[in-house]
């Protein structure tokens, strides 16, 4: 499902709505206030921090308009992904939907893994993940997969690794 890229005028309007103190750039508080996870509770601050980190090119700790265009696309892509996998339209992704989602990305993981994943990222305690926690979970899986593949270039799903390398690998993970 493709989408026409939004016009600059459209993005400007959104940017100005988010930039409530009119400083010309978006702070993490403003971003957090602007995004919704569908649960009436604040958007996951870890996810906010991560997104600012990803798109804050000039290291100002804030997002200017140019950086915002990329951030907006990123959030929209995740929104589309989330809606696609929220099969029952409940506004949250449960274990079965998560399994379907990750399987479609090519993962073959155990039931135990999915239990752990939900337990780790579900901040609402309902046994499923809202939009913000879904992003957090998927990005963490991407990080782990990349770290793993560093030692598994042929992607056979198995690594044989020495203790030192294993420790370095584990401690390099920022989850």
Closer CB to another protein, 4 or 158, in the complex:
158
Number of Cβ within 10 Å of residue 130's Cβ equals 24
Burial (CB count <10 Å: 0-12, 13-18, 19+), residue 111: exposed
Q: Which of 11, 33, 81, 109 binds another protein (CB under 8 A)?
A: 109
Half-sphere exposure at residue 154, Cβ-oriented, CA atoms within 13 angstroms: 4
Burial (CB count <10 Å: 0-12, 13-18, 19+), residue 148: middle
Nearest in space to 132 (alpha carbons), one of 49, 36, 52: 36
Contacts to another protein from residues 110-169, by CB under 8 A: 110, 112-113, 116-117, 119-120, 141, 144-145, 148, 152, 157-164, 166-168
Closer CB to another protein, 10 or 166, in the complex:
166
Closer CB to another protein, 3 or 160, in the complex:
160
Q: What phi, psi does 163 have (nearest 5°)? A: -55, -50
Cα angle: 7, vertex 67, 48; to 5 degrees? 110
Stretch that binds another protein, among 16-24, 35-43, 72-80, 108-116 (CB under 8 A): 108-116
- The size of the interface with another protein (CB under 8 A), counted in residues, is 29
149 CB-near residues (< 8 Å, 6+ apart):
155
Q: Does 49 bind another protein (CB under 8 A)?
A: no
The mark string for 57-96 relative to another protein (x by CB under 8 A, - otherwise) is ----------------------------------------
For another protein, the binding residues (CB under 8 A) are 109-110, 112-113, 116-117, 119-120, 141, 144-145, 148, 152, 157-164, 166-168, 170-173, 175
């Amino acid at each position: 499902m493709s989408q026409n890229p939004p016009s600059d005028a459209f993005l400007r309007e959104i940017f100005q709505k988010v930039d409530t103190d009119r400083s010309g750039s978006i702070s993490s508080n403003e971003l957090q206030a602007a995004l919704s996870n569908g649960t009436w509770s604040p958007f996951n601050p870890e996810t906010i921090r991560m997104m600012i980190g990803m798109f804050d090119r000039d290291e100002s700790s804030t997002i200017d308009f140019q950086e915002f265009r990329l951030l907006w696309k990123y959030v929209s892509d995740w929104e589309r992904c989330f809606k696609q996998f929220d099969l029952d339209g409940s506004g949250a992704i449960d274990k079965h939907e998560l399994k379907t989602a990750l399987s479609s990305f090519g993962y073959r993981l155990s039931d135990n893994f999915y239990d752990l994943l939900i337990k780790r990222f579900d901040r609402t305690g309902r046994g499923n993940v809202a939009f913000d926690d879904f992003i957090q979970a998927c990005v963490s899986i991407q990080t782990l997969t990349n770290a793993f593949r560093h030692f598994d270039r042929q992607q056979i799903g198995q690594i044989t690794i020495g203790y030192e390398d294993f420790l370095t690998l584990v401690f390099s993970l920022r989850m």
